[in-house]
Copies of this chain bind each other. A is one copy, B any other.
Amino acid sequence: MLSASQIKFIRSLAQKKERDASGLFVAEGSKSVRELLQYFDCQLLILPKEDTEKYEGRIDETVYASPKEIERASSQKTPQGVIAVLKKPQNNKLPDFSENNLYLALDGIQNPGNLGTIIRLADWFGIRHIFCSADTADAFGPKTVQATMGALGRVMIHAVDLPEFLRDNQPKIPVYGAFLGGDSIYSASLPDNAIIVMGNEGNGISDKVAEHINNRLEIPSFANGGETSESLNVAVATAIVCSEFRRRTLPL
């Protein structure tokens, strides 16, 4: 049984303030939970009473709860049964860029679903580190965790002062950014090591961050001069850029 104070505490973790104070976050749904238990310590695992499946991982406490209790504890529109209270990773080590690889930097991505989708596709493209500006959504918020579909365990999220971070690391690794009016991503020369900067949904990359970007890339539209959308969804644009960078590393 879940106590009223447990339910209240789990619900409070939908707020970033509470996640920061406690070092905890919440994942829901058996598939996500199972995947994340491989990577994160679990303080509390809440299972539906009738659940007979086995969950493996470092689990401090397991509680069986009624559908009503789970519904009250859930911050999802459609509660998914299983809920895990997980410990956020501590002291994620920043990479030193000594190895050739791709990295993402996010400058003010505000939609939690977009952020989650970006973390999931980063995982697919073998990107292990994402650097997030202070005004990017929190990767451990419930909507983001849900959209990552478990990828959050394999991609390290670093909250950084993005202009400063890029300024300091630019001598070590080229910095690319997606801008309207940049060079076509299809014809630009792309290295196998780079930080790729993606900007805010409405406003793109901020001036302060743009200062430290050496290479401006654009995904050209194929509307053939006709009217078209002003821009692509940021997760979609990130996917196209990552795909094109990775494609270039393949043998011909």
Contact = CB atoms under 8 A, between A and B. Distances in A.
A105 to B, nearest CB: 18
A154 B150 CA distance: 36
A192 to B, nearest CB: 11
A62 interface: no
A21 interface: no
Oligomeric state, in copies: 2
A232 B113 contact: no
A223 B121 CA distance: 11
Interface stretch (A6-14, A156-164, A207-215, A236-244): A236-244
A126 interface: yes
Contact of A240 (B113, B154, B240): B240
Nearest to A147: B233
Contacts of A239: 232, 236-237, 239-240
A126 B221 contact: yes
Interface string A199-222: 000000000000000000001011
Contacts of A147: 233
Interface in A169-187: 186-187
B186 A120 contact: no
Contacts of A187: 250
Contacts of A121: 232-233, 236
Contacts of A186: 247, 250
Interface of A: 38, 113, 117, 120-121, 123-126, 147, 149-151, 154, 186-187, 219, 221-224, 226-233, 235-237, 239-240, 243-244, 246-247, 249-250
Given A125-B222, A240-B243, 7 more contacts: A123-B223, A124-B219, A125-B223, A149-B230, A219-B243, A222-B246, A239-B240
23 contacts: A120-B229, A120-B236, A121-B232, A123-B223, A124-B219, A124-B228, A124-B229, A124-B232, A125-B221, A125-B222, A125-B223, A126-B223, A126-B226, A147-B233, A149-B231, A151-B228, A154-B227, A154-B228, A235-B235, A236-B236, A236-B239, A237-B239, A240-B243
The 10 closest A-B pairs by CB, nearest first: A126-B222, A236-B239, A240-B243, A123-B229, A125-B222, A126-B223, A151-B229, A222-B246, A117-B233, A186-B247
